[in-house]
Amino acid sequence: MKKVLMLAMAGVMALSITACGGKSSGDGDGKVYKIATDASYAPMESMDKDKIVGFDVDFFDAVMKQAGLNYKLSNTGWDPMLETVKKGDYDAGLSSVSITDERKQTYDFSIPYFESTNMIIVKEGSDIKNATDLKGKKVAVQGSTTADTLMSGIMGATNSDLKKFKSNTLAFQELDKNGVDAAVADIAIVREYAKNNPDKKFVTIEDKQNFGVEYYGVLFPKGSELKAKLDPAIKTIIENGKYAEIYKKWFGEAPNTDALLSAK
């Protein structure tokens, strides 16, 4: 199984898509940093023809310009991103990655750059009103995400009714074809999917009692030198208004930057 997995990952890597090489705004260090992403998280990162676009993409481009560094962003997929960043094959991962204590054992993270929470999506007429109602239901999540962790805690990690998919898109498609009663994913992704599919009459449910606040961070290999270069740049663009400008472009509202800067 391990050999098959590695061969599959190699195939994904071979098909990875280079989206952009950020032009530095300073002398930098002469290096072109390799950044991995999973471009299936609209509006955070997604494919527009052969280009990766989204909030994370614009945010990271501003950070790298502030730091005066060059980079290339490649669409590798979620699991390959986690594995290749851990091994150091990529210098960082950028894909709405929630900062968790478990992940901190394997990776380093930048300072937080986005506040999020998980959200439930169901079909109109569902009797599901909160996360506890998901017990005894069939639920779709993307594997190896915080939604997976949360629902494993609520339903049981080995519960056959907890369906784990390679992407949120596949999880949402399972809900659409009535293969599950609900799906759980990050709030921005759920809202975007519901907004883009109004004819399907999805209902989104926010449950702050059972799904706490999370913060995204840029993912680094343990001991990465890049973290020390990017943390000050992230802080600067949050404080100078560039972050709010990008946030409003993608979400149509102002971010709570005070909460973001005080998050650990």
> What is the per-residue pLDDT across 121-178, written as a single tens digit (0 to 9) for each?
999 999 999 999 999 999 999 999 999 999 999 999 999 999 999 999 999 999 999 9
Residue 23 has pLDDT above 50, yes or no: no
| pLDDT over 70 at 12, yes or no | no
Q: What is the 3-state secondary structure (H, E, C) of 165-231?
A: ECCHHHHHHHHHCCCCCEEEEEHHHHHHHHHHCHHHCEEEEECCCCCCCEEECCEEECCCCHHHHHH
Task: Read off the tokens for 30.
Answer: 């002469």
104 φ/ψ angles, rounded to the nearest 5 degrees: -65, -20
Mean pLDDT of the chain: 91
The pLDDT of residue 21: 42
Q: Give CATH for domain 118-206.
A: 3.40.190.10
User: How high is the pLDDT of residue 29?
Assistant: 80
pLDDT for residue 28: 74
Q: Is the separation of the CB atoms in 208 and 130 below 8 Å? A: no
Domain boundaries, the chain: 2-115+216-262, 118-206
Average pLDDT, integer, range 205-216: 96
In the numeric block, which tokens belong to residue 195? 């907004």
* Residue 10 binned pLDDT confidence (cut-offs 50, 70, 90): very low
Q: Which one, of 170, 169, 171, 173, lies nearest residue 151 by Cα?
A: 171
Between the CA of residue 19 and those of 16, 61, 87, 250, what are the distances in Å?
9, 11, 22, 19
**What's the predicted TM-score (pTM) here?**
0.85
Q: Compute φ and ψ for 40, nearest 5 degrees.
A: -135, 30
Query: Above 50 in pLDDT, residue 5?
Result: no
Q: Which CATH class is domain 2-115+216-262?
A: alpha beta
pLDDT, average across residues 106-126: 98
For residue 37, give the 3-state DSSP assignment. strand
Average of per-residue pLDDT across 203-222? 97
30 φψ region: left (φ > 0), alpha (ψ -120 to 50), beta (else):
left
Query: 90-126 burial, b for 16+ CB within 10 Å, e for fewer?
Result: bbbbbbbbbbeeebeeebbbbbbbbbbbbbbbbeeeb
Q: Alpha carbon of 64 to those of 18, 28, 87, 186, 227: distances in Å?
A: 16, 10, 22, 25, 12
Q: What pairs with residue 114 in β-bridges?
A: 216
Instruction: Work out the pLDDT band at 27, boundaries 50, 70, 90.
Output: low
Separation CA 52–CA 122 (nearest Å): 28
Domain pair 2-115+216-262 / 118-206, same fold = yes
> E-assigned strands of the chain?
17-22, 32-37, 40-41, 45-48, 51-53, 70-75, 92-93, 107-109, 114-116, 118-123, 139-142, 162-165, 182-186, 202-206, 214-216, 219-221
